[in-house]
Structure 1
Amino acid sequence: MFLPQRTGGDDFGEGWLGTGFFGDQIFDPITVLKQQIISRLTGIDPTASAAWAGELPSAVGPAPLLPIRVRPRKRSRGARWRREVNTQFPREGKGFYSYEPSHRQVGQRETIAAFLEIAEDWADAHPEGPRIGIGRISFEGGGPMEGASHRLGVDVDIRPMRNDSREAGTDWRLPSYSRELTQELVDIIFANPVLEVDVIFFNDPNIKGVRPWSNHDNHLHVRFKRP
């Protein structure tokens, strides 16, 4: 699967890799994006339907190629991980929306794949909403952001779940906060099959599986293990 990632060159540009169809079916871009990411991780050829059918039963056949925005690869001046923080998170899709600018939502390919899977699992459990609010991830190429984290493309901030389905922020001490939905979300994050979770920081003492950290009353900080 092809992703919006740096592929070479010195300037930003638009890269069109084609638009694909399978019979009369038009593929959902987010579904195709997730399939192509998983294809890259597993090494399975997305153009070979037999491979998909035999090794990834959940796939829907050969994945089409989509038009993407190509991010040129910067010359590396640091460690290998800087070159790998190159995959843009979508603005919205099944089960999620973004509340930070796009340039602050670039991560490693596996991080993006994991959260697309998490969002889809959440949407399957809650087809009428609410959706997950996705915040900071990293800058393109990684490096310093506010604080000491979000440098490697493996940290993702998300909003706690509300009890009124509004797509807005809340705090675990406010009446609008839903502890039940937030606990369910934490469980889904830990259960994702794409990338192992290292830690989730959040200050609600009644949420199982999280660790307190200063200034984490109004968002959960999910840190995955580096791929």
Structure 2
Amino acid sequence: MFKILVIALYLLGSFCFADSNPQSWAQRTTPTSDSISQSIGTFTSGCVAGAMALPTSGIGYQAMRLSRNRVYGHSALIQFIQQLGQVAADQQLGTLLIGDLGQARGGPTPSGHRSHQTGLDVDIWFLLSRQLDNRLLSANERETWSAPSMVNLSTDTVDYRQWTEAHEKILQAAANSPEVDRIFVNPSIKQELCKHKTASAAEWLRKIRPWWKHDDHFHVRLKCPDGNLYCQGQPALPIGDGCDASLAWWFSAEAKTPSKPAKPTAPPPLPALCEQVLNQ
């Protein structure tokens, strides 16, 4: 049914836009009934049909902040998280604590996260808890625990009281996944990874991108899955491992005191196809 509606909407409403009111999307607390996940639009202006809910606990991971109801994503994202949890368990790296994925039908959220709209983004805490002893966190712990910062802001380095080899290994495992497009981390974390780079690390290091904040979690973004014709990915990453002068810029005064952009008067328009996703 989704394919038929896609064609109809694309032919009849290619110049129309879907409702971009965040409250409208937050009120849709269940996914559409489509049997196959489809990401539509861009990461900051899109939606997802046929999303799946991440089981709140699994091998090597547990989901946090369940009250947000942002445990939904494309089937490819759910599979990725479960596979990364298995890696964490097999290598005894600690339990992954999973933050936000997206809403049941994607779209803009009432607060925070301009991205996470197409079911292809997930935040994973740097708190790799080895103290769980295979027990499930309580509902209260999932709501009240916080991830510590991995960065010493006074020295622009990672905080070695928090940072461990396990963090580097889980980032490498995530970046080596072929479905991953890029991973956002704090610039100081990227700098730390560059200190230990080897010739064979160039390809996975290239996917690790410095970005503001991201000192207590890393943000994984998947590529548009095959067959998702209306998913729009980002431009290709620059050539190289990213450990060059482009990284040095992040520690400049310009980067540390960026000018504040003017607040948009309205959310960006969503693709017309998202209207059916919202109202199905």
Are 1:201 and 2:165 matched, yes or no?
A: no
Does the CA-based 8 Å contact 1:164-1:176 persist in structure 2?
no
Q: Please state which structure has a larger fraction of its residues in helix.
A: 2
Residues 31, 104 of structure 2: 8 Å contact kept: no
Q: In structure 2, which of residues 143, 147, 161 is the aligned counterpart of residue 169 of structure 1?
A: 147
> Any stretches of 5+ residues in structure 2 without a counterpart?
1-29, 133-144, 152-158, 195-204, 226-280
Structure 1: gaps of 5 or more residues: 1-69
Correspondence for 1:96 among 61, 67, 70 = 61
2:220 aligned with 1:218? no
Give the Cα separation in 2 of the matches to 1:150 and 1:224: 11
Matched, 1:140 2:123: no
1:212, CA displacement in angstroms?
1.5
Q: C-alpha distance in 1, partners of 2:72/2:173?
A: 22
Number of aligned positions between the proteins: 151
Aligned to 2:120: 154
Mapped to 2, the partners of 1:97 and 1:163 lie a distance apart of 10
Residues 171 and 188 of structure 1: is their aligned pair in 2 closer, same or farther, counting only changes over 3 Å? same
Does the Cα contact within 8 Å between 1:84 and 1:109 map onto a contact in 2? no
With structure 2 as the length reference, what TM-score do the two structures score?
Answer: 0.48
Q: Within the alignment, does 1:108 sit opposite 2:74 as a pair?
A: yes
Q: Deviations over 1:153-181 (max 9, x none)?
A: 11110111458647751211245522311
Shift of 1:97: 0.9
Residue of 165, 171, 176 corresponding to 1:186: 171
Larger-gyration structure (1/2): 2
How far did 1:79 drift? Answer: 4.5
RMSD: 2.7
- For 2:267, the equivalent position in structure 1 comes to none
Match of 1:15 in 2: none
Structure 2: how far apart are the matches of 1:170 and 1:130?
Answer: 15
Q: Percent identity?
A: 25
Structure 1 SS opposite 2:51: strand
1:104 is paired with a residue whose SS is coil
TM-score by length of 1: 0.58
Greater relative contact order (Cα 8 A, min sep 6): structure 1 or 2? 2
